[in-house]
Amino acid sequence: MPKIGTITYPDNPLALLKDRKIGPLYKKHLTSVFNSDEVNFLQGKFDVKKIYKVYIKSNARKGLNLTSKMFQDANDLAEAGDWKLKSWQPLLADIEDHIIQDLEINHNLNFFKSPEFLKMHALLLTNKEAKRIAKEVGTKDIKAIDNAIRALCLSETTKANKIIQTSQERERAMWDTKSVKEKPANLLSKIKKKLGIK
């Protein structure tokens, strides 16, 4: 599994496609640079006749990029009228492995280097950091910390100050109603220190 910063991502194409956070982005990337039919094949559940007709047959409308042996094995089974799943399972497993191997070798690295992924990674990283920093500086306003970090990363200190000030006022009002004497500290300076920003 590739670890980028403090986040570990799946590297298996099937696991990537199923990933709740980056799965849709990975699928979008693949369908723009790769055969979308092969991606749909990996995600679909079909009966054997439909798989053969739609993906494997010589004039299939969503033809897969397979080896000649795979085509031959599929045609042999089809011509014999053998549509039992048990007969097709080894071939379907080989086809799936063939597609997955192609994705791993030719497309995964490009996905992890793509601007779209890097932008998503930055957002996920910021959110993860926001949770950690919020806990360390003693606030529950994770969204404010998240927004302040993003502003600081863009050198928008005034905006970050405003976000933190609003957050502190909200917390202070909440704390005052509960008769708690402690007030929020200067969160922005603490956040900067945690992020190593001067």
Residues 89 and 158 placed together within one structural domain of the fold:
no
Question: Last residue of a domain, which of 89, 113, 137?
Answer: 113
Residues 51 and 109 placed together within one structural domain of the fold:
yes
- Give the span between the Cα atoms of 95 and 194, in whole angstroms: 49
| 3-state SS class at 8 | strand
Higher-scoring residue by pLDDT: 194, 102: 102
Nearest to 25 by CA among 116, 123, 139: 116
For residue 46, what pLDDT is reported? 74
Per cent of the chain over pLDDT 70 is 83
Higher-scoring residue by pLDDT: 183, 80: 80
Under 8 Å CB-to-CB from 184, ≥6 apart: which residues? 138, 139, 167, 168, 171, 172, 175
pLDDT at 127 over 80: no
Residues 78 and 175 placed together within one structural domain of the fold:
no
What would the pLDDT profile of 154-191 be if each residue is shown by its tens digit? Answer: 677 788 888 877 877 777 665 555 544 444 446 667 77
Query: What value does the mean pLDDT of the chain take?
Result: 80
Confidence of residue 69 (pLDDT cuts 50, 70, 90): very high
Residues 49 and 105 placed together within one structural domain of the fold:
yes
Question: Last residue of a domain, which of 78, 113, 148?
Answer: 113
Residues 102 and 137 placed together within one structural domain of the fold:
no
Residue keyed to tokens 């039992």: 84
Containing domain of residue 133, as a range? 115-195
pTM of the model: 0.63
Residues 54 and 144 placed together within one structural domain of the fold:
no
Residues 23 and 105 placed together within one structural domain of the fold:
yes
Residues 184 and 137 placed together within one structural domain of the fold:
yes
Residues 156 and 93 placed together within one structural domain of the fold:
no
What phi and psi, each to the nearest 5 degrees, are found at residue 145?
-65, -45
> 1-5, 89-93, 171-175 — which is least confidently predicted?
171-175
Residues 183 and 98 placed together within one structural domain of the fold:
no
How many domains does one find in the chain?
A: 2
Confidence of residue 89 (pLDDT cuts 50, 70, 90): very high
Residues 95 and 119 placed together within one structural domain of the fold:
no
Average pLDDT over residues 80-98: 92
Question: Last residue of a domain, which of 86, 113, 140?
Answer: 113
Using alpha carbons only, give the angle 110, 26, 144 rounded to the nearest 5 degrees: 105
pLDDT at 72 over 90: yes
Residues 109 and 122 placed together within one structural domain of the fold:
no
pLDDT at 42 over 90: no
Confidence of residue 79 (pLDDT cuts 50, 70, 90): very high
CATH number of the domain at 80, please.
1.10.167.10
Dihedral class, residue 184 (left if φ above 0, else alpha if ψ from -120 to 50, else beta): beta
Residue keyed to tokens 């055969």: 35
For residue 194, what pLDDT is reported? 64
pLDDT at 105 over 90: no
